[in-house]
Structure 1
Amino acid sequence: MNPGHLLRAAWKHRAANAVTVATLAVTVAVVLAALALAHNFFVSPWTYDSVRLGVLTHRAAADTRSLYGFSAEEFRTLRDSALFEQLVASRGRPVALEGPDGYPTRMLMVQTQPSARTVTGVAPALGRFLADEDRAGSPTTVISHALWQSHFGGDPAVLGRALRVEDAVYTVVGVMPDRFHFMGGDLWVPHASDLDTDQDAARPYVVNVRFKPGTDLPSLRGALATLSQRLVAAAPASRYLPGWTITGEYVIDAVMGPMRPAVGLLVVASLLMLLVVLANVATLINIRQVVTEPQLAVRLALGATSRRLYADAFATNLLLAAVGVGLGWALGGGVFERIVGMISADWIPRELEGRFVYAGASLRWMPLMVVGCAALMTLSQWPRLRRIDAQAAVRTSARTGAGAGVLRGVRGLAALQVAAATVVGVLAFCVGAGTADIRARALGMRVDGVASTRLTLPQAAYPDPAARRQFAERLREALRAEPGVADAAFVDAAPFQRYRRQTALRADLAGGPQELSVGLSSSLGPVPDVLGLGLLHGRYLDDARDGANAPPVAVVSRALALQVWGTDDVLGRTLSLASDAEAPARRIVGVLDDIRYGGALAEPERLVFIPHAQDPALPAAFVVLASGRDGRVPAADVLARAAAGVDPRVPLFDTVRLADRAQESVAGLNLAEAAFRVFAVLAVVLALMGTVVVLSFLLAVRQREYAVRSALGAAPARLARGVVGEGVGIGLFGALAGLAAAWGVAGLVDASLYGATPWRWLAAAAVGAGLLVAVTLATLSPARRAAASDPMLALRSD
C-alpha cells in the first residue's frame, strides 16, 4: 500500500483513530510495565544459572515452615547420594569491615567451598574463586564487585592486596562479577572448620545444589524423602522430629516465591485489560468499516482484490497499533517506576537491588505487541471484509450497508465491554475491601513511634555472649540519655524481618513428646514496653533476675501455648530447645498475647523469648528497637550518635520506622489493590466510551428511521426513551454477565492474594448497579440527538 495513501486514509478518520490510539496507549503502558516487572523478577537480572541452581530445606511432618540449616554430617550424606551434579555448604556471618574512610561498615562474610563456583555457574571477573588449596581457616578471600569498587576503587591490581576484616587480615584472590551476591554475601572465605571431619550436630549450613540436566523435581523429592528416612533410622530417637524430611526447590522460586502470586496476577490482569481494550478498538474499527463499505465496494468494482483489501486493513491497523504501542511504551516507564516503588525492599534480593530496568525488558515485547494488536484488529474486520458485495454495497451506500447482523455484533461488543468492566470493578472492590480487612488485623504490637536498626559486633572485640550483653547494656543507657528516645530493647530479629532465627522445641506431654519448629528470639531490655506486647500470664524476662547462673526460663506466645498444650495458661511448664544442646529444660514464666511478627498477612506466630544472658549461641548481630517520646519516632542520627558514643567501630545500618516495615509487609496486596483500582477505572471509562460510540453509531445508522417516526408523529420523548432503553439493555446484559463471570473467578484471585478477596454479594451488586446507572447516564447524549430528529430528513432522503 502506498504510504501517502495510508496516511491520508488514517487522517480522514482522525477522530476515531485518535480515540483508538489513546485507548491502546493507556492500556499498553500498564501491560508493558507489568511484563517488564515480571521479566526483571524472574528472568533477566540473575547472574546465576537459575535453571540449575537449587536449595535444600527440611521440615517436620506437623510443621508448615521449612528450614534451611543442615549439619556437616547431613551435608556429607547428601553429597554422597549422587542425586545432584554438585553441592556446596555455606554459612553467613555479619562482620564489621573497616572502610576507606576509617569507619566500619557492615558486610556479610560467607564461609563456603570451592564447589560454589560450579553450583552457581559464575566465573570470577578477576583472579580465581576459592580452590582446594584454600584449606579450612586459610586467610584468602574472594570479594564482590561492589566491595572491589568501594574499598579498592576498582583497581585491576587488587589481587594479592590485603583486606582487614575486624582483627583478621585476608588476601584477595578474586573478584566476582557485578550483581553476584551468592548467599547475600560481600566476600567469600573458606570454612573455619573441615566439613569432612566436623561432627557437630548443629545445623548452620545452607546447602545449595546444581541440579542434574533434566531433573524432575517431584521425583527428586521422592528420592530425598527416602534418604531422609535413612538418616532418621540411623540417628538417636531424639535427633529428628517426627516425619522429618528433606526437600528441594529452585533458588529463584525460594527467593521470589512470596511475590510471585501478586506479580503473576498483575500480568494476567493487565493482559485481560488489553483484551478489553482490543474489544473496544474492534468496535470503533467495525463502525469505521461500515461507514467506509461503499468506498470499499467501489474499489472492488474497479478491480481491487479481496486480498488487497485485507492487506490495506492490516497496514492501517499496523500503523495505529505502532503509534499506540509506541506512546504506551513512553507512558509505561512512569507506571513501571510507580509499581517498583510499591514493592518491599525485603522481597528484593541483593542481585536485583537497583537493577530493575524498564527499557530493555519492555522493548523485547513491543514488536510482538504491535503485530499482535494489528492482527487481532484485522481479524475483527475479516467477516465484514469477506462478505463485501460490490454491487449490493453500492446500491445501499446511502444506508451505510449496516445489516441486522452487524448491529447485533456491535451491540454484543458494547455488552462485552460492560461485562469486563463489571468483572474488574467487582474484583477491585473485593481486593480493596479484603486488603482493608487484613490491614485492620491486630498485629499484637505497637509500630507507631518505634524505630528499628541493626548492628554487628566485631568478633574479636566481643567474642562471647557476656561481652555482647555488656555492650547492649551500655548502648541502652546511651540511648535512654538521648532526648528523643524513651526506651530501647534488643532482640536478634526485628518484626517483619523476612529471615528470623528458628529452632526446634520439644515438650514432654502426657501423650508423649511433641516437637515442632518455633521462632526464637533472645532479648534484653523491656521488649513488651517498647513494642506494646500484651502479657496474658506471668511476667516477662528480667535482665537482673534471669542471669547466666539463674535457672533457665522462657516466655512463649499464646499461639505456641495453644498448639502444644491446648491452653494459654502454661506457667511453670517446661520446654527444651535444640539450640540449648544439653542444657536443662526451660521453665515458662510468661505468656504473651498473639503476635503477628511477620505482618498482617501472617498468622499469629509460635515464638519463644529467652534472656540474652541465657543464650549460649547469642549472635554477634542483633536488632535495636527504640521507642520515641510523645509518639515520635527516634531519628536515625540520634541512634547513630548513641552507638558511636559507646563504640565507634560498631555502625548501625538498616534504620527504619517500624510502621514503614509494617506497610512493606503487605506490599504484594498493595500492588494488587492499586493495579485493580487502575484497571477498574480504565475498564469503566472504556465501557462508557464504547456504549456512547455504539449508541451514536446505531443512531447514525437508523437516522432515517427516527426521522420517519418523527414525521409520523412520534413524540421526542418516546424517541429518546428508545435510545435509553437500548443502552440500558446493553448495560443490563453486560452487568449480569459480568457478575456471573466475577463470581466464577473470584476464588482464583482470592487464592492468589492470601485470602484477601472474599466474595461480597452486596458489594458485587452495588458495582453492577452503579455501572448500569453510569451506562444509563451515558445514553443521555445520544438520546437527546434522537429526540431532535428532523422529519424533513426523511423526505429529503427519498
Structure 2
Amino acid sequence: GTPLSWPDFQDLQRSCTLCETLFVSKITGTTLSIGDRAERTTGSIVSANYFDAIGVPPMLGRGFLPGEDQGQSAHPLAVISHQLWQGRFKGDPAIVGKTQRLNGVVHTIVGVAPEGFFGTFVGWGMQFWVPASMEDIFEAGGYKLADRGARWIEAYARLKPGVTLQQAQQEFAAISGRLETEYPATNRGRAIRFWPLWQTPFNNAGTLLPTLEIMLAVVAFVLLIACANVGNLLLVRSLARRHEMSVRLAVGAGRARLWKQLLTEGLVLSLFGAAGGLLVAYWCRHALALLFPARGGVQMHLPGEIDWRVLALSAGVCLATTLLMGLVPVLQTGKIDLAQSMKMESAGVVSGRERAWVRSGLVLVQVSLSFVLLVGAGLLKQSLLKVRTASPGFNTRGVQDTAIDLLSAGYTPARAQTFQDALLERVRALPGVESAAFAKMTPLSYVSSATAPIVVDGYQPPPEESPTVEYNEVGDDYFVTMGIPLVAGREFTRADDEKATLAAVVNETMAQRYWRGRNPLGERLQLKGRWMQVVGVAKDSKYSSVREKPTPFFFVPLRQNSLRGSVLNIRTPLAPQTMATAIAREVHALDS
C-alpha cells in the first residue's frame, strides 16, 4: 500500500506473520538497446521472489534467485515479456543467456514471461523485469537499497487464507510502530497503510475502477432501455397474436404451455442478442487500448479476453433480459378471458384500455431511463471538462518533450554533458523555438519523482513527523520553458554546476511549511548528507496528478546531480512532427 523504503520492506518480510508472501514491483522507464537499434520501453524493478509470489513461472528460463535483488548493480539480469521476445528477438528459442542493454548496461536475459502476462501494474504492459539490485541504473536519486528514508517502492502482500484486511492492517500498524521506535529519524509518523489491489493509489487499478463502474452503470441503463423497448415490441406482437392464443386456449392448451412458449421465444431472442454481443466484443476486445497509443515507451494493456467469467455473466444477463422482456407479454396472456376475447375478436377490437396503459408504462420507463442516462452523460462530460481544463500550475500550451538518454547509448558522463550542452544550444537556435531545458522528470508523466528525507536548517519537526519531500532535477531555463512562475529569487543557470554552491528552488507550500513566517531565500536544507542553499521560490504546480492537493516539492540543478535519463522540454508553436524531425537532425549531426 504505502510507498516503502527497501530496508522497511525487508523488515516487513521478516516480521509479517499473516502474509503468505510479500513482493515488490516498481514501474520504470528505460532505453532498450539491441544491436544498433534503441527504443524507449517500460518495465518493472522487482524483488527476487516476484514470479514465485504471483505464481507465474517464466515459460522459458527462470525467474530471479534469492539474493539477486541485493547489492548495488550486482545482478544485471532480466526477464523479458513474451511480446518483446516475439517482436525484437523473433521468438528465438535460445534466447536465455543472450544480452540486451537497458539504460546502457548489459543485462543477461534469464527468462521469458508467459504469453499474456504483462505484470502487476494494471493498464500498462511491462516489457521486462529486473531485480531490485539494479535500481540505481533506472531510478533517479542514486543507490537506495540501503537508504531507509528513500521511499520509492510499492509492495504487494498476499494474505494467508482466512486472514482479513483488518487483521493484516493491525499487524502492519504494530510493525510500523516498532520501526518508528527503532528508526525515529526516518520512520517517525510513517504509518504503513494497506489497500486492496483495486483501490491502491499507486496502481492504475485505483484509477480504472471508478471509470469501469461508470461504464458498467451506463451499460446497465442502456440494457434496461433496450429491454423496455423489446418488451414493448413483444407486447404489440402478443396483441397481434391474441386470436392465435385465444384459439389455442379454446382447443384445450394450458396457460402454462403458452407462458412457456412466450418465455422460450424471449430466451431465443436473448440468446441471439448475447451471441451478437459476444461476437462484437471479440472483434473489439482490444479496441480500448487503441485509444491510448504507445507514448514514450509506455505500452497500454487493457485486457479484453473472453473467458468463462464473461460467458457466465453473459448467460446470467441473458436469463435476466428474458424475464424482463417476456414478463409483460406473459402477464397479459395470463389475463385473457376466453369468452370476452372471442366477443372482442368478433367485434374487431384488438386491445383495451389496460393494454394501452401497459404500453404507455413501458414507454414511460424508456423515456425515464433515457433521461437519467442523458443527465449522467452530461454530468460526466462536465467533470471531464473540469479535469481537462484544470490548471496544473504551469503553461502546457506549446510544450513538447522528448527523452534523451546518452548514458544508455554508451556516453561517458563528461561526454554526455558536452553533448547535452551542444544539443541544447542547437535546439534553442532552431526557428520557432522559444525556450528549451532538460529535466529528470516531466510533470504528470508516468515516471515518479524522486523522494528523500530532508533536514531543514532551523526547522524542528514535531515528534510524529519525518520530513520527506519529492524533488526533480532540472536544467537552466526550466521554469521559463514549463511556464512555472517564480514568486521570489531566481531559477537555475549554467553556472549552477558541480563546482558551484549546491542550490535548490522550493515551491510555495514547502516554503510555508518549513520556513513559516521567514524568507526561505538563502536558507539551507540537507539532501542525502549534502547541504544546499535555497535560491528561489516557485508557485505551486501539479506533479503527479491534476487532482492532487498542494504538496511540498523542490527542484535541484541537473548539472549538480545525475544526467541519466534526461527529458528535453521545448516550448514552441511548431507541430510535434516538425519538431521531432528537427531534433533528430540535430542529434545525428552532433553524433556523426
> Which stretch has the larger CA shift, 556-565 or 443-452?
556-565
Q: 1:173 to 1:481 in 2, by over 3 A?
A: same
Q: 1:247 to 1:345 in 2, by over 3 A?
A: farther
Is 1:526 matched up with 2:474? no
Q: Is the 8 A contact 1:142 1:187 kept in 2?
A: yes
Q: 1:308 to 1:479 in 2, by over 3 A?
A: same
C-alpha deviation, 1:251, in angstroms: 4.4
C-alpha deviation, 1:261, in angstroms: 0.6
Using the alignment, how far apart are the partners of 1:263 and 1:181 within structure 2? Answer: 20
Q: Is the 8 A contact 1:297 1:391 kept in 2?
A: no
Greater Rg by CA: 1
C-alpha deviation, 1:223, in angstroms: 1.1
2:37 to 97, 103, 113: 103
Q: Is the 8 A contact 1:144 1:175 kept in 2?
A: yes
Give CA deviations for 1:646-693 in whole Å, capped at 9, x if unaligned: 458xxxxxxxxxxxxxxxxxxxxxxxxxxxxxxxxxxxxxxxxxxxxx
Q: Is the 8 A contact 1:318 1:370 kept in 2?
A: yes
Using the alignment, how far apart are the partners of 1:251 and 1:279 within structure 2? Answer: 37
Q: Is the 8 A contact 2:221 2:373 kept in 1?
A: no
C-alpha deviation, 1:291, in angstroms: 3.9
Q: Percent identity at matched positions?
A: 24
1:387 to 335, 347, 351: 335
C-alpha deviation, 1:505, in angstroms: 4.9
Is 1:608 matched up with 2:554? yes
SS of the equivalent of 1:285 reads helix
- Alignment-derived partner of residue 86 in structure 1: 21
Using the alignment, how far apart are the partners of 2:20 and 2:130 within structure 1? Answer: 22
- Alignment-derived partner of residue 201 in structure 1: 148
- Alignment-derived partner of residue 440 in structure 1: 389
* 1:178-577 matched pairs, under 5 angstroms: 178-182=115-119, 184=126, 186-189=128-131, 191=133, 199-203=146-150, 205-235=153-183, 237-242=184-189, 244-251=190-197, 253=199, 254-328=203-277, 339-342=288-291, 350=299, 353=301, 356=304, 365-397=313-345, 398=347, 400=349, 402-458=351-407, 461=410, 469-483=417-431, 485-503=433-451, 504-505=453-454, 507=456, 512=461, 517-544=468-495, 546-562=496-512, 570-572=519-521, 574=523, 576=525
C-alpha deviation, 1:177, in angstroms: 1.6
- Alignment-derived partner of residue 713 in structure 1: none
SS of the equivalent of 1:610 reads strand
Q: Is the 8 A contact 1:221 1:248 kept in 2?
A: yes
1:642 to 552, 568, 586: 586
Q: 1:376 to 1:112 in 2, by over 3 A?
A: closer
Using the alignment, how far apart are the partners of 1:167 and 1:291 within structure 2? Answer: 76
In the alignment, residue 500 of structure 2 is paired with which amino acid? Answer: A
In the alignment, residue 529 of structure 2 is paired with which amino acid? Answer: E
C-alpha deviation, 1:232, in angstroms: 0.5
Using the alignment, how far apart are the partners of 2:404 and 2:380 within structure 1? Answer: 38
- Alignment-derived partner of residue 129 in structure 1: 63
Using the alignment, how far apart are the partners of 1:629 and 1:317 within structure 2? Answer: 59
C-alpha deviation, 1:606, in angstroms: 3.8
Using the alignment, how far apart are the partners of 1:626 and 1:348 within structure 2? Answer: 19
C-alpha deviation, 1:583, in angstroms: 1.7
- Alignment-derived partner of residue 698 in structure 1: none
Using the alignment, how far apart are the partners of 2:57 and 2:153 within structure 1? Answer: 23
Q: 1:340 to 1:393 in 2, by over 3 A?
A: farther
In the alignment, residue 550 of structure 1 is paired with which amino acid? Answer: A
Q: Is the 8 A contact 2:235 2:328 kept in 1?
A: yes
Using the alignment, how far apart are the partners of 1:335 and 1:637 within structure 2? Answer: 34
Q: 1:382 to 1:576 in 2, by over 3 A?
A: farther
In the alignment, residue 395 of structure 2 is paired with which amino acid? Answer: R
Give CA deviations for 1:501-560 in whole Å, capped at 9, x if unaligned: 14245556778556555431110021122222222222222231x333433332223344
Q: Which runs of 5+ in 1 are unaligned?
A: 1-55, 58-67, 649-798
C-alpha deviation, 1:581, in angstroms: 1.7
Q: 1:113 to 1:527 in 2, by over 3 A?
A: closer
In the alignment, residue 131 of structure 1 is paired with which amino acid? Answer: L
Q: 1:238 to 1:358 in 2, by over 3 A?
A: same
* 1:692-771 matched pairs, under 5 angstroms: none
Q: Is the 8 A contact 2:506 2:555 kept in 1?
A: yes
Q: Is the 8 A contact 1:71 1:202 kept in 2?
A: no
- Alignment-derived partner of residue 583 in structure 1: 530
* 1:609-688 matched pairs, under 5 angstroms: 609-615=555-561, 618=562, 620-628=564-572, 634-647=578-591
> Normalized per residue, which structure has more helix?
1
Using the alignment, how far apart are the partners of 1:110 and 1:432 within structure 2? Answer: 34
Q: Is the 8 A contact 1:574 1:588 kept in 2?
A: yes
Q: Is the 8 A contact 2:423 2:590 kept in 1?
A: yes
- Alignment-derived partner of residue 70 in structure 1: 5
In the alignment, residue 643 of structure 1 is paired with which amino acid? Answer: V
Give CA deviations for 1:199-255 in whole Å, capped at 9, x if unaligned: 5435355434333233322221121111101000111x332243x111233445433
Using the alignment, how far apart are the partners of 1:212 and 1:77 within structure 2? Answer: 15
Q: Is the 8 A contact 2:21 2:159 kept in 1?
A: yes
Give CA deviations for 1:85-125 in whole Å, capped at 9, x if unaligned: 2233566775544324x233345676655422211211111
Task: Please tell me the root mean square deviation across aligned C-alpha atoms, in Å.
Answer: 3.8
Q: Higher relative CO (CA 8 A, sep ≥ 6), structure 1 or 2?
A: 1
Q: 1:148 to 1:441 in 2, by over 3 A?
A: closer
Using the alignment, how far apart are the partners of 1:296 and 1:347 within structure 2? Answer: 66
> Which stretch has the larger CA shift, 299-308 or 403-412?
403-412
SS of the equivalent of 1:626 reads strand
In the alignment, residue 309 of structure 1 is paired with which amino acid? Answer: L
In the alignment, residue 146 of structure 1 is paired with which amino acid? Answer: Q
Give CA deviations for 1:352-395 in whole Å, capped at 9, x if unaligned: 63754579986665444444322321222232222222122112
- Alignment-derived partner of residue 34 in structure 1: none
In the alignment, residue 477 of structure 1 is paired with which amino acid? Answer: E
SS of the equivalent of 1:477 reads helix
Q: 1:158 to 1:489 in 2, by over 3 A?
A: same
Q: Is the 8 A contact 1:92 1:185 kept in 2?
A: no
Q: Is the 8 A contact 1:140 1:190 kept in 2?
A: no
TM-score norm. by structure 1 comes to: 0.63
TM-score norm. by structure 2 comes to: 0.82
In the alignment, residue 623 of structure 1 is paired with which amino acid? Answer: V
SS of the equivalent of 2:194 reads strand
- Alignment-derived partner of residue 794 in structure 1: none
Using the alignment, how far apart are the partners of 2:30 and 2:253 within structure 1? Answer: 78
- Alignment-derived partner of residue 19 in structure 1: none
SS of the equivalent of 2:110 reads strand
Q: Is the 8 A contact 1:127 1:159 kept in 2?
A: yes
Q: 1:292 to 1:106 in 2, by over 3 A?
A: closer
In the alignment, residue 127 of structure 1 is paired with which amino acid? Answer: G
Q: Is the 8 A contact 1:73 1:199 kept in 2?
A: no
Using the alignment, how far apart are the partners of 2:513 and 2:293 within structure 1? Answer: 31
Using the alignment, how far apart are the partners of 1:304 and 1:297 within structure 2? Answer: 10
Q: 1:322 to 1:106 in 2, by over 3 A?
A: closer
Q: Is the 8 A contact 2:289 2:301 kept in 1?
A: no
C-alpha deviation, 1:279, in angstroms: 1.9
Using the alignment, how far apart are the partners of 2:89 and 2:374 within structure 1? Answer: 55
In the alignment, residue 421 of structure 2 is paired with which amino acid? Answer: E
Is 1:156 matched up with 2:103? no
Q: Is the 8 A contact 1:627 1:633 kept in 2?
A: no
Give CA deviations for 1:101-154 in whole Å, capped at 9, x if unaligned: x23334567665542221121111112222348685256544333343345432
- Alignment-derived partner of residue 666 in structure 1: none
Using the alignment, how far apart are the partners of 1:438 and 1:290 within structure 2? Answer: 51
Q: 1:502 to 1:189 in 2, by over 3 A?
A: closer
